[in-house]
């Protein structure tokens, strides 16, 4: 233990979470921040051991106002430099002003007596203390803060932290801007990394082709990814905190009701990017996010009829089996309500049990089952489990676009309402354009809504 360091300071030097508790008075514990802390300590370990232990590539995607910049771009660099005073940190963002504010915070924190109690041998050099670039006294380490398009010539980094490389959705949707960010990363930032150095990327996922998307496409195995959506959606991907569907990330600050109100205010695509960290493509030719969002309901009215649409997967190893529950009300003309998305990748027995379970739970009229691929086996599986279940076979004689267009028209008219949020289904709908292979959730939806709203009017899609 260094001279003058007490037990509390010693623990703060060894554990980043304890460092935050000790140094940052407004500190508030949250499960997602504890998860981030653990990953950041793995980053520090990766640099300290030149990759022998820990990790050296980390992406963190969280909603706004959930503590990521304070944790990652301010408190962590201070702790990292205290442990590794001969290493340098490079902070960058879409605007130099952002990281200069981060740099000022880190520099000022290091100057505090409480920090010096944790790391007594670390201080700011008096002759090199400019806020955009400063050194540690008598050591090789320090910190530089620049914008993404700024010059990094002559500056190296053992830890590169990128805090939002693009400003907003407009920039993210610009192919030229995405290319500029990619070039800045490859040609300027990455080349400044010292041997054994680490990279942390925190950003809003506005676009699938953003910096994170390109890196994951090219070197996914190298990166640890922490995606922490504001509202849990384990049906889309496993939740890092094992939350149930719809559970808020930081309930003490943002309740589920608060987040749903935000979603209603800013729209589906902005919410998916800012709060769920799940980029949705720009609206395709058929389905638009606002058609879903503007008529979304929390609960359905009394329903006249419910069906379960099923699009069986051709194989267990292939795509998911689409299972969508929908119903219609007694209005004239009737409106449809998409009640549940139970789609899953499973064996025939497993998906058949899920479909029959939904049929029973919703007191459905029948199951609508596509029989184009392996249809006979699908019907046989359902009949084996429940010989009395009413199963309506449907066969796709028309192309996917022709089948989907009448359903898209119903959405545009405001006659289809989603009950609650169905993130995986909605992502498939908004991301699909004619000419693409239609995903199974969307196919099951089309079959269910066609049976409810079109077939009885003589518009057959078989």
CATH number of the domain within which 348 lies: 3.30.420.280
Structural domain includes residue 252: no
* CA nearest neighbour of 32 among 241, 237, 205, 201: 241
**Domain identity same for 297 and 441:** yes
Structural domain includes residue 270: no
DSSP code of residue 227? E
pLDDT attached to residue 458: 37
Contact residues for 134 (Cβ-Cβ < 8 A; gap 6+):
103, 107, 124, 125, 128, 142, 143
Residue tagged 């800012």 (tokens): 274
Tell me which of 228, 253, 268 is where a domain ends. Answer: 228
**Domain identity same for 149 and 14:** yes
* Separation between Cα atoms, residue 358 and residue 310, nearest integer Å: 11
Q: Is 159 left (phi over 0), alpha (psi -120 to 50) or beta?
A: beta
**Domain identity same for 222 and 307:** no
Structural domain includes residue 305: yes
pLDDT attached to residue 271: 85
Structural domain includes residue 376: yes
395 by DSSP, 3-state: which? coil
Residue tagged 């200069």 (tokens): 100
Nearest 10 degrees: CA dihedral of 118, 119, 124, 126? 100
- Could you tell me if 106 and 71 are in contact, meaning their C-beta atoms sit under 8 angstroms apart? no
Residue 11 lies in domain: 7-228
Structural domain includes residue 106: yes
Structural domain includes residue 151: yes
* CA nearest neighbour of 108 among 82, 78, 145: 78
385: its two tokens = 């489990």
Residue 196 CA: distances (Å) to CA of 124, 136, 240: 25, 21, 27
**Domain identity same for 29 and 110:** yes
pTM of the model: 0.71
The structural domain count of the chain equals 2
Residue 421 CA: distances (Å) to CA of 292, 428, 445: 10, 13, 15
96: its two tokens = 């130099």
Tell me which of 228, 249, 280 is where a domain ends. Answer: 228
pLDDT tens for the chain, residues 1 to 462: 455 678 899 999 999 999 999 999 888 889 999 999 999 999 999 999 999 999 999 999 999 999 999 999 999 999 999 999 999 999 999 999 999 999 999 999 999 999 999 999 999 999 887 899 999 999 999 999 999 877 766 678 999 999 999 998 888 888 899 999 999 999 999 999 999 999 999 999 988 889 999 999 899 999 999 999 999 988 778 899 999 988 999 999 999 999 988 987 887 778 888 999 988 666 555 788 889 988 999 999 999 999 999 999 877 666 789 999 999 999 999 999 999 999 998 999 999 999 999 999 999 999 999 987 666 788 999 999 999 999 999 987 667 777 888 898 899 899 999 999 898 898 888 878 776 776 889 999 999 999 999 975 333 333
Radius of gyration of the chain (CA): 26
* Separation between Cα atoms, residue 67 and residue 232, nearest integer Å: 18
102: its two tokens = 């981060």
**313 C-beta neighbours (distance < 10 Å), count:** 22
pLDDT attached to residue 418: 97
CATH of the domain at 60: 3.40.50.300
Burial class (CB in 10 A: 0-12, 13-18, 19+), 281: middle
56: its two tokens = 């050296």
DSSP code of residue 333? S
Structural domain includes residue 264: no
**Domain identity same for 178 and 38:** yes
- Could you tell me if 133 and 106 are in contact, meaning their C-beta atoms sit under 8 angstroms apart? no
- Could you tell me if 327 and 339 are in contact, meaning their C-beta atoms sit under 8 angstroms apart? yes
Strand order in the sheet with 322-328: 391-394, 366-370, 305-311, 322-328, 336-341, 416-418
* Separation between Cα atoms, residue 453 and residue 377, nearest integer Å: 28
Q: Which residues pair with 294 in a beta bridge?
A: none
268: its two tokens = 């589906």
**Domain identity same for 61 and 154:** yes
122 by DSSP, 3-state: which? coil
* Separation between Cα atoms, residue 385 and residue 389, nearest integer Å: 9
Structural domain includes residue 246: no
CA–chain centroid gap for 253, Å, is: 19
* Separation between Cα atoms, residue 170 and residue 269, nearest integer Å: 13
pLDDT attached to residue 3: 58
**Domain identity same for 366 and 439:** yes
* Separation between Cα atoms, residue 292 and residue 431, nearest integer Å: 13
* Separation between Cα atoms, residue 140 and residue 87, nearest integer Å: 6
């Amino acid at each position: 233990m260094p001279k003058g360091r007490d037990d509390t300071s010693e623990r703060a030097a060894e554990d980043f979470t304890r460092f935050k508790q000790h140094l940052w008075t407004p500190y508030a514990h949250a499960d997602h921040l504890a998860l981030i802390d653990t990953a950041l300590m793995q980053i520090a370990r990766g640099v300290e051991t030149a990759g022998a232990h820990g990790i050296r590539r980390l992406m963190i995607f969280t909603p706004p106002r959930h503590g990521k910049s304070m944790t990652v771009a301010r408190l962590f660099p201070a702790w990292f430099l205290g442990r590794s005073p001969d290493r340098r940190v490079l902070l960058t963002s879409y605007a130099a002003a952002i990281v200069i504010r981060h740099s000022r915070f880190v520099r000022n924190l290091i100057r505090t007596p409480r920090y010096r109690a944790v790391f007594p041998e670390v201080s700011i050099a008096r002759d090199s203390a400019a806020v955009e670039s400063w050194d540690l006294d008598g050591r090789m380490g320090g910190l530089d803060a620049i914008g993404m398009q700024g010059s990094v010539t002559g500056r190296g980094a053992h830890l590169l932290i990128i805090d939002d490389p693009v400003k907003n959705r407009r920039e993210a949707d610009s192919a030229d801007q995405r290319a500029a960010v990619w070039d800045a990363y490859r040609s300027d930032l990455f080349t400044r990394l010292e041997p054994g150095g680490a990279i942390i990327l925190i950003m809003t996922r506005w676009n699938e082709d953003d910096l994170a998307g390109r890196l994951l496409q090219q070197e996914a195995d190298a990166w640890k990814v922490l995606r922490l959506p504001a509202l849990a959606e384990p049906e889309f991907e496993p939740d890092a905190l094992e939350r149930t569907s719809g559970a808020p990330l930081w309930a003490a600050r943002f309740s589920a009701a608060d987040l749903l109100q935000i979603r209603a205010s800013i729209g589906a695509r902005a919410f998916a990017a800012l709060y769920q960290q799940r980029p949705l493509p720009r609206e395709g030719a058929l389905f638009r996010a606002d058609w879903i969002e503007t008529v979304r309901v929390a609960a359905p009215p009394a329903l006249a009829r419910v069906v379960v649409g099923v699009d069986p997967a051709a194989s267990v190893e292939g795509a998911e089996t689409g299972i969508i529950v929908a119903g219609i009300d007694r209005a004239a003309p009737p409106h449809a309500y998409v009640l549940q998305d139970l789609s899953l990748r499973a064996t025939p027995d497993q998906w058949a049990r899920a479909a029959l379970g939904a049929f029973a739970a919703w007191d459905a009229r029948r199951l609508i089952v596509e029989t184009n691929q392996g249809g006979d086996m699908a019907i046989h599986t359902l009949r084996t489990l429940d010989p009395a279940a009413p199963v309506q076979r449907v066969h796709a004689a028309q192309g996917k676009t022709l089948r989907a267009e009448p359903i898209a028209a119903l959405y545009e008219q405001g006659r289809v309402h989603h009950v609650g949020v169905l993130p995986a289904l909605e992502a498939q709908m908004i991301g699909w354009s004619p000419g693409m292979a239609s995903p199974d959730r969307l196919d099951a939806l089309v079959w269910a809504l066609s049976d409810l709203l079109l077939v009885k009017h003589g518009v057959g899609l078989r």
